[in-house]
Amino acid sequence: MKSSVGIVDAEQWARLNKQLLNTLPLENQYTIRYICAFLKLFAVNQDVHKMNVNNLAIVFGPNFMRPEEETIESAVKEMPVSTTFLCVLIQNAEEWIPKKPTT
C-alpha cells in the first residue's frame, strides 16, 4: 500500500502511526482507543447492518483526520489516506494505545 506520503512498507507505516499516536495527550489516546474498540465491536455484526470496518472508516475518517486546508478537493484527495488510517487504527488501537488505568 502506498499513501500520499510515499510510505510503502506496511510495518513502517504501522510504526509511524504508533509514533504519531504517542505524540497525542494521554486522554486523547484513551478516547481514540475507546472509540476504535467500539467501532471494532460494532463491525462484528456487519452482516446485520452492512457496516464493516472500511465503511465505518469512510464515515468516521474525516472526524479523525482533516487536511490542513479544508476544501472539497483536499477532502476527496485525502479520503483514501484517512480511510486506510482509520481501518488500521480500528483493528489495532487496543494493541497500540495503552488502556486507561482505573483509579
pLDDT tens readout for residues 4-26: 455 567 788 888 888 988 999 99
CA distance 82 to 58: 8
pLDDT above 90 (res 101): no
DSSP designation for 5: T
Q: Round to whole Å and give the CA distance between 83 and 88.
A: 9
Kindly list the structural domains of the chain, giving each domain's residue range(s) and its CATH number in brackets, ordered by start.
10-96 (1.10.555.10)
Three cell numbers, residue 79: 479520503
The DSSP-derived string for 35-51 is: HHHHHHHHHTTHHHH--
Could you read off the pLDDT of 36-55 as tens digits, one per residue? Answer: 999 999 999 999 999 999 99
